[in-house]
Chain A
Amino acid sequence: MTAAARRRAFLTAAPLLAAFLVWGLSGLPPVGDYRGPYGLVLNQVAVAERHATNVVAAVTFDYRGVDTMGEEFILFAAVTGVAILLRAMRGEAERPPEEQARGRRVPGTSNAVRVIGLALLGPVMLFGTYVTAHGHLSPGGGFQGGVVVATGALLVYLSGEYVTLRRLEPESMIDLAESAGAAGYVVVGLSGLVAAGVFLANALPLGRPGTLLSAGTLPVINLTVGLEVASGFVLLLSEFLEQTLVLRGTGSTGAAPDPPGRPPAVPRTPPGGSPDPSGRRR
Protein backbone atom coordinates (compact mmCIF):
# COMPACT_ATOMS: atom_id res chain seq x y z
CA MET A 1 0.00 0.00 0.00
CA THR A 2 1.42 3.38 -0.92
CA ALA A 3 1.78 6.22 1.55
CA ALA A 4 -0.98 8.22 -0.15
CA ALA A 5 -3.42 5.30 -0.04
CA ARG A 6 -2.60 4.71 3.58
CA ARG A 7 -3.24 8.35 4.41
CA ARG A 8 -6.54 8.27 2.54
CA ALA A 9 -7.63 5.13 4.39
CA PHE A 10 -6.69 6.73 7.70
CA LEU A 11 -8.45 10.02 6.93
CA THR A 12 -11.69 8.23 6.08
CA ALA A 13 -11.54 5.80 9.01
CA ALA A 14 -10.42 8.25 11.72
CA PRO A 15 -13.45 10.61 11.66
CA LEU A 16 -15.80 7.61 11.62
CA LEU A 17 -14.04 6.09 14.61
CA ALA A 18 -13.97 9.44 16.39
CA ALA A 19 -17.71 9.90 15.79
CA PHE A 20 -18.50 6.46 17.21
CA LEU A 21 -16.22 7.12 20.17
CA VAL A 22 -17.89 10.45 20.97
CA TRP A 23 -21.33 8.85 20.55
CA GLY A 24 -20.39 6.07 22.96
CA LEU A 25 -18.71 8.36 25.48
CA SER A 26 -21.67 10.76 25.55
CA GLY A 27 -23.80 7.92 26.92
CA LEU A 28 -21.51 7.23 29.86
CA PRO A 29 -22.64 8.23 33.35
CA PRO A 30 -20.65 11.14 34.83
CA VAL A 31 -17.51 10.44 36.88
CA GLY A 32 -18.40 9.27 40.36
CA ASP A 33 -21.98 8.35 39.48
CA TYR A 34 -21.96 4.69 40.44
CA ARG A 35 -25.06 2.72 39.45
CA GLY A 36 -24.14 -0.87 40.33
CA PRO A 37 -25.56 -2.13 43.62
CA TYR A 38 -22.71 -4.49 44.57
CA GLY A 39 -20.09 -1.87 45.34
CA LEU A 40 -22.48 -0.01 47.64
CA VAL A 41 -23.43 -3.24 49.43
CA LEU A 42 -19.78 -4.21 49.85
CA ASN A 43 -18.91 -0.77 51.20
CA GLN A 44 -21.55 -1.33 53.85
CA VAL A 45 -20.74 -4.90 54.87
CA ALA A 46 -17.04 -5.51 54.14
CA VAL A 47 -15.59 -3.94 57.26
CA ALA A 48 -18.16 -5.61 59.50
CA GLU A 49 -17.95 -9.00 57.81
CA ARG A 50 -14.23 -9.30 57.07
CA HIS A 51 -12.64 -6.68 59.35
CA ALA A 52 -10.68 -5.40 56.33
CA THR A 53 -10.54 -1.63 56.04
CA ASN A 54 -9.44 -1.86 52.39
CA VAL A 55 -12.63 -3.05 50.74
CA VAL A 56 -10.81 -3.58 47.44
CA ALA A 57 -8.58 -6.18 49.11
CA ALA A 58 -11.63 -7.82 50.70
CA VAL A 59 -13.15 -8.18 47.24
CA THR A 60 -10.04 -9.40 45.41
CA PHE A 61 -8.76 -11.82 48.05
CA ASP A 62 -11.97 -12.96 49.73
CA TYR A 63 -15.32 -12.32 48.00
CA ARG A 64 -13.67 -12.88 44.60
CA GLY A 65 -10.69 -14.87 45.88
CA VAL A 66 -10.96 -17.62 43.25
CA ASP A 67 -10.72 -15.04 40.43
CA THR A 68 -7.53 -13.66 41.93
CA MET A 69 -6.11 -17.15 42.25
CA GLY A 70 -6.67 -17.59 38.54
CA GLU A 71 -4.95 -14.28 37.85
CA GLU A 72 -2.01 -15.30 39.96
CA PHE A 73 -1.64 -18.49 37.97
CA ILE A 74 -1.80 -16.49 34.73
CA LEU A 75 1.28 -14.63 35.95
CA PHE A 76 2.87 -17.89 37.05
CA ALA A 77 2.29 -19.45 33.63
CA ALA A 78 3.58 -16.34 31.84
CA VAL A 79 6.79 -16.24 33.87
CA THR A 80 7.31 -19.96 33.37
CA GLY A 81 6.78 -19.54 29.63
CA VAL A 82 9.33 -16.72 29.38
CA ALA A 83 11.83 -18.70 31.45
CA ILE A 84 11.44 -21.72 29.18
CA LEU A 85 11.78 -19.61 26.03
CA LEU A 86 14.91 -17.86 27.24
CA ARG A 87 16.49 -21.07 28.47
CA ALA A 88 16.11 -22.65 25.04
CA MET A 89 17.71 -19.59 23.47
CA ARG A 90 20.63 -19.67 25.85
CA GLY A 91 21.83 -23.01 24.47
CA GLU A 92 22.06 -21.46 21.01
CA ALA A 93 23.73 -18.31 22.22
CA GLU A 94 26.47 -19.90 24.26
CA ARG A 95 28.46 -20.79 21.18
CA PRO A 96 30.82 -17.82 21.30
CA PRO A 97 30.12 -15.79 18.17
CA GLU A 98 33.24 -14.36 16.58
CA GLU A 99 31.99 -10.84 16.13
CA GLN A 100 31.12 -10.53 19.78
CA ALA A 101 34.65 -11.18 20.97
CA ARG A 102 36.13 -8.18 19.25
CA GLY A 103 35.82 -4.50 19.99
CA ARG A 104 32.97 -4.74 22.46
CA ARG A 105 33.04 -1.79 24.76
CA VAL A 106 31.12 -2.07 27.98
CA PRO A 107 30.19 1.33 29.35
CA GLY A 108 31.09 1.69 32.99
CA THR A 109 28.54 2.39 35.67
CA SER A 110 28.90 5.90 37.04
CA ASN A 111 29.50 6.30 40.74
CA ALA A 112 26.36 8.43 41.08
CA VAL A 113 24.15 5.63 39.73
CA ARG A 114 25.93 3.13 41.94
CA VAL A 115 25.53 5.15 45.14
CA ILE A 116 21.91 6.14 44.51
CA GLY A 117 21.00 2.58 43.51
CA LEU A 118 22.46 1.06 46.64
CA ALA A 119 21.06 3.83 48.86
CA LEU A 120 17.56 3.26 47.48
CA LEU A 121 17.74 -0.52 47.91
CA GLY A 122 16.85 -0.61 51.61
CA PRO A 123 13.94 1.87 51.46
CA VAL A 124 12.51 0.18 48.37
CA MET A 125 12.58 -3.28 49.95
CA LEU A 126 11.04 -1.91 53.14
CA PHE A 127 8.35 -0.06 51.21
CA GLY A 128 7.51 -3.15 49.16
CA THR A 129 7.20 -5.28 52.28
CA TYR A 130 5.05 -2.58 53.89
CA VAL A 131 2.73 -2.36 50.89
CA THR A 132 2.37 -6.17 50.89
CA ALA A 133 1.79 -6.51 54.63
CA HIS A 134 -0.77 -3.68 54.81
CA GLY A 135 -2.80 -4.74 51.78
CA HIS A 136 -5.93 -5.39 53.85
CA LEU A 137 -5.65 -2.01 55.61
CA SER A 138 -4.69 0.51 52.95
CA PRO A 139 -4.23 0.62 49.16
CA GLY A 140 -1.71 -1.95 48.02
CA GLY A 141 -1.31 -5.65 48.53
CA GLY A 142 0.72 -8.59 47.38
CA PHE A 143 0.78 -7.73 43.72
CA GLN A 144 1.84 -4.09 44.08
CA GLY A 145 4.22 -4.79 46.96
CA GLY A 146 5.73 -7.77 45.15
CA VAL A 147 6.60 -5.69 42.09
CA VAL A 148 8.13 -3.01 44.33
CA VAL A 149 10.26 -5.63 46.10
CA ALA A 150 11.35 -7.03 42.74
CA THR A 151 12.61 -3.60 41.66
CA GLY A 152 15.13 -3.99 44.50
CA ALA A 153 16.87 -6.65 42.41
CA LEU A 154 16.85 -4.20 39.51
CA LEU A 155 18.55 -1.59 41.72
CA VAL A 156 21.26 -4.07 42.66
CA TYR A 157 21.87 -4.75 38.98
CA LEU A 158 21.79 -1.04 38.05
CA SER A 159 24.47 -0.42 40.66
CA GLY A 160 26.68 -2.67 38.58
CA GLU A 161 26.73 -5.47 41.09
CA TYR A 162 25.76 -8.29 38.79
CA VAL A 163 27.83 -10.88 40.65
CA THR A 164 26.27 -9.73 43.92
CA LEU A 165 22.86 -10.10 42.33
CA ARG A 166 23.64 -13.67 41.30
CA ARG A 167 24.89 -14.46 44.79
CA LEU A 168 21.81 -12.86 46.39
CA GLU A 169 19.40 -14.85 44.29
CA PRO A 170 20.42 -18.33 43.27
CA GLU A 171 18.01 -19.33 40.57
CA SER A 172 16.85 -22.50 42.30
CA MET A 173 15.84 -20.44 45.35
CA ILE A 174 13.88 -18.01 43.17
CA ASP A 175 12.16 -20.90 41.40
CA LEU A 176 11.28 -22.39 44.76
CA ALA A 177 10.01 -19.07 46.15
CA GLU A 178 7.82 -18.49 43.11
CA SER A 179 6.31 -21.96 43.32
CA ALA A 180 5.82 -21.64 47.06
CA GLY A 181 4.02 -18.34 46.57
CA ALA A 182 1.70 -19.79 43.95
CA ALA A 183 1.09 -22.95 45.95
CA GLY A 184 0.55 -20.95 49.16
CA TYR A 185 -2.62 -19.40 47.75
CA VAL A 186 -4.04 -22.87 47.05
CA VAL A 187 -2.99 -24.07 50.50
CA VAL A 188 -4.88 -21.16 52.10
CA GLY A 189 -7.89 -22.09 49.96
CA LEU A 190 -7.68 -25.74 50.96
CA SER A 191 -7.35 -24.83 54.64
CA GLY A 192 -10.63 -22.97 54.28
CA LEU A 193 -12.11 -26.12 52.73
CA VAL A 194 -10.95 -28.19 55.70
CA ALA A 195 -11.91 -25.69 58.40
CA ALA A 196 -15.20 -24.34 57.08
CA GLY A 197 -16.15 -26.65 54.23
CA VAL A 198 -15.77 -23.97 51.55
CA PHE A 199 -12.72 -23.39 49.36
CA LEU A 200 -11.04 -20.09 50.32
CA ALA A 201 -13.43 -19.59 53.23
CA ASN A 202 -12.03 -16.96 55.59
CA ALA A 203 -11.62 -19.35 58.51
CA LEU A 204 -8.88 -17.57 60.47
CA PRO A 205 -9.75 -15.29 63.40
CA LEU A 206 -10.68 -11.87 62.04
CA GLY A 207 -9.04 -9.72 64.71
CA ARG A 208 -9.71 -6.05 65.34
CA PRO A 209 -10.36 -3.98 62.17
CA GLY A 210 -7.49 -1.69 61.29
CA THR A 211 -4.74 -3.70 62.98
CA LEU A 212 -1.98 -5.51 61.14
CA LEU A 213 -3.15 -8.95 62.23
CA SER A 214 -6.77 -8.71 61.15
CA ALA A 215 -9.08 -9.73 58.30
CA GLY A 216 -8.30 -13.44 58.71
CA THR A 217 -6.76 -15.00 55.62
CA LEU A 218 -6.35 -11.70 53.72
CA PRO A 219 -2.83 -10.85 54.96
CA VAL A 220 -1.73 -14.48 54.53
CA ILE A 221 -2.89 -14.52 50.92
CA ASN A 222 -1.28 -11.11 50.38
CA LEU A 223 2.04 -12.48 51.59
CA THR A 224 1.87 -15.53 49.30
CA VAL A 225 0.92 -13.34 46.34
CA GLY A 226 3.72 -10.93 47.22
CA LEU A 227 6.20 -13.81 47.32
CA GLU A 228 4.96 -15.14 43.99
CA VAL A 229 4.96 -11.79 42.22
CA ALA A 230 8.32 -10.65 43.61
CA SER A 231 10.13 -13.87 42.75
CA GLY A 232 8.34 -14.10 39.41
CA PHE A 233 9.58 -10.66 38.37
CA VAL A 234 13.06 -11.32 39.75
CA LEU A 235 13.12 -14.56 37.77
CA LEU A 236 12.13 -12.67 34.61
CA LEU A 237 14.82 -10.09 35.30
CA SER A 238 17.56 -12.62 35.92
CA GLU A 239 16.60 -14.69 32.86
CA PHE A 240 16.80 -11.59 30.68
CA LEU A 241 20.03 -10.45 32.32
CA GLU A 242 21.59 -13.84 31.87
CA GLN A 243 20.70 -13.64 28.19
CA THR A 244 22.43 -10.30 27.77
CA LEU A 245 25.10 -10.18 30.46
CA VAL A 246 26.55 -13.67 30.36
CA LEU A 247 27.14 -13.16 26.68
CA ARG A 248 28.61 -9.75 27.37
CA GLY A 249 30.87 -11.33 30.01
CA THR A 250 32.22 -13.98 27.66
CA GLY A 251 32.55 -11.31 25.00
CA SER A 252 34.90 -9.17 27.07
CA THR A 253 37.12 -12.11 28.02
CA GLY A 254 37.91 -12.42 24.33
CA ALA A 255 41.08 -11.33 22.59
CA ALA A 256 40.33 -7.62 22.56
CA PRO A 257 41.36 -5.80 25.72
CA ASP A 258 39.06 -3.10 26.98
CA PRO A 259 40.01 0.40 25.92
CA PRO A 260 42.01 2.18 28.62
CA GLY A 261 40.08 4.39 30.99
CA ARG A 262 36.89 2.41 30.57
CA PRO A 263 36.57 -0.10 33.38
CA PRO A 264 34.23 -2.94 32.52
CA ALA A 265 30.89 -2.73 34.28
CA VAL A 266 30.63 -6.46 34.34
CA PRO A 267 33.25 -8.68 35.94
CA ARG A 268 35.15 -10.82 33.52
CA THR A 269 34.47 -14.04 35.35
CA PRO A 270 31.33 -15.76 34.21
CA PRO A 271 28.74 -16.37 36.94
CA GLY A 272 29.51 -19.51 38.82
CA GLY A 273 33.21 -18.79 38.85
CA SER A 274 34.76 -16.90 41.73
CA PRO A 275 34.16 -13.17 41.42
CA ASP A 276 37.32 -11.22 40.78
CA PRO A 277 37.14 -7.98 42.77
CA SER A 278 40.34 -6.58 41.31
CA GLY A 279 38.76 -6.53 37.87
CA ARG A 280 36.18 -3.94 38.78
CA ARG A 281 37.79 -1.64 41.32
CA ARG A 282 38.71 1.75 40.03
Chain B
Amino acid sequence: MTVLLAVVLLLVAAAGTAVVLTRDPLDQAIVASFFGLLLGLAFLVLQAPDVALSQIAVGAVALPLMILLALAKVRRGSR
Protein backbone atom coordinates (compact mmCIF):
# COMPACT_ATOMS: atom_id res chain seq x y z
CA MET B 1 0.00 0.00 0.00
CA THR B 2 2.77 2.41 0.98
CA VAL B 3 4.80 1.44 -2.07
CA LEU B 4 1.78 1.94 -4.33
CA LEU B 5 1.11 5.31 -2.75
CA ALA B 6 4.74 6.37 -3.17
CA VAL B 7 4.72 5.33 -6.84
CA VAL B 8 1.48 7.21 -7.53
CA LEU B 9 2.69 10.32 -5.72
CA LEU B 10 5.94 10.27 -7.69
CA LEU B 11 3.93 9.95 -10.91
CA VAL B 12 1.78 12.93 -9.87
CA ALA B 13 4.91 14.94 -9.10
CA ALA B 14 6.45 14.01 -12.45
CA ALA B 15 3.24 14.89 -14.32
CA GLY B 16 2.93 18.19 -12.46
CA THR B 17 6.50 19.07 -13.40
CA ALA B 18 5.75 18.09 -16.99
CA VAL B 19 2.77 20.46 -17.03
CA VAL B 20 5.03 23.31 -15.91
CA LEU B 21 7.79 22.42 -18.36
CA THR B 22 5.44 22.18 -21.34
CA ARG B 23 5.50 25.64 -22.85
CA ASP B 24 2.96 25.39 -25.68
CA PRO B 25 -0.55 25.92 -24.24
CA LEU B 26 -2.10 23.38 -26.61
CA ASP B 27 0.30 20.63 -25.51
CA GLN B 28 -0.08 21.84 -21.95
CA ALA B 29 -3.83 21.21 -22.01
CA ILE B 30 -3.23 17.56 -22.94
CA VAL B 31 -0.47 17.12 -20.33
CA ALA B 32 -2.72 18.77 -17.73
CA SER B 33 -5.42 16.25 -18.59
CA PHE B 34 -2.97 13.41 -17.96
CA PHE B 35 -1.94 15.07 -14.68
CA GLY B 36 -5.63 15.24 -13.67
CA LEU B 37 -6.04 11.55 -14.36
CA LEU B 38 -2.99 10.67 -12.24
CA LEU B 39 -4.19 12.91 -9.41
CA GLY B 40 -7.53 11.07 -9.51
CA LEU B 41 -5.60 7.80 -9.24
CA ALA B 42 -3.76 9.19 -6.20
CA PHE B 43 -7.08 10.04 -4.53
CA LEU B 44 -8.29 6.52 -5.26
CA VAL B 45 -5.18 5.02 -3.67
CA LEU B 46 -5.76 7.31 -0.66
CA GLN B 47 -9.23 5.70 -0.37
CA ALA B 48 -11.22 8.77 -1.40
CA PRO B 49 -13.22 7.41 -4.36
CA ASP B 50 -15.78 10.23 -4.24
CA VAL B 51 -13.06 12.83 -4.67
CA ALA B 52 -11.31 10.67 -7.28
CA LEU B 53 -14.45 10.61 -9.43
CA SER B 54 -14.79 14.39 -9.28
CA GLN B 55 -11.09 14.85 -9.95
CA ILE B 56 -11.11 12.61 -13.02
CA ALA B 57 -14.27 14.20 -14.45
CA VAL B 58 -13.16 17.78 -13.86
CA GLY B 59 -9.37 17.55 -13.99
CA ALA B 60 -9.03 15.14 -16.89
CA VAL B 61 -12.03 16.17 -19.02
CA ALA B 62 -13.70 19.47 -18.15
CA LEU B 63 -10.65 21.63 -17.41
CA PRO B 64 -8.57 20.63 -20.49
CA LEU B 65 -11.70 21.01 -22.59
CA MET B 66 -12.24 24.57 -21.38
CA ILE B 67 -8.57 25.35 -22.05
CA LEU B 68 -8.80 23.90 -25.57
CA LEU B 69 -11.98 25.81 -26.38
CA ALA B 70 -10.58 29.04 -24.99
CA LEU B 71 -7.40 28.53 -27.04
CA ALA B 72 -9.46 27.92 -30.17
CA LYS B 73 -11.31 31.15 -29.53
CA VAL B 74 -8.21 33.20 -28.74
CA ARG B 75 -6.27 31.93 -31.76
CA ARG B 76 -9.19 32.54 -34.07
CA GLY B 77 -9.60 36.07 -32.76
CA SER B 78 -5.92 37.00 -33.06
CA ARG B 79 -5.50 35.85 -36.66
Contacts and interface: CB of A to CB of B under 8 A. Distances in A.
Contacts, number: 52
A181 interface: no
B73 interface: yes
A147 B66 contact: no
A250 to B, nearest CB: 12
A259 B61 CA distance: 32
Size class of the B contact interface (CB-based, 8 Å): 20 to 34
Contacts of A54: 50
Nearest to A244: B72
Interface stretch (A8-16, A137-145, A172-180, A182-190): A137-145
Q: Say which size band chain A's interface belongs to.
A: 20 to 34
A151 B57 contact: yes
Interface of chain A, helix or strand or loop or mixed? Answer: helix
A244 B61 contact: no
B22 interface: no
Contacts of B79: 99-100
Contacts of A236: 66
A145 B50 CA distance: 11
A144 B50 contact: yes
B53 A131 contact: yes
B57 A56 contact: no
B50 A151 contact: no
Contact of B50 (A31, A56, A147, A237): A56
B11 interface: no
A244 B79 CA distance: 13
A56 B66 CA distance: 28
B18 interface: no
Contact of A31 (B5, B57, B72, B73): B5
Interface in B28-74: 46, 49-50, 52-54, 57-58, 61-62, 65-66, 69-70, 72-73
Contacts of B2: 31
18 contacts: A31-B2, A54-B50, A57-B50, A139-B49, A139-B50, A140-B50, A141-B50, A143-B54, A144-B54, A147-B61, A147-B62, A148-B57, A151-B61, A151-B62, A240-B69, A243-B69, A244-B72, A248-B76
Interface of A: 31, 54, 56-57, 93, 99-100, 131, 139-141, 143-144, 147-148, 150-151, 154, 233, 236-237, 240-241, 243-244, 247-248
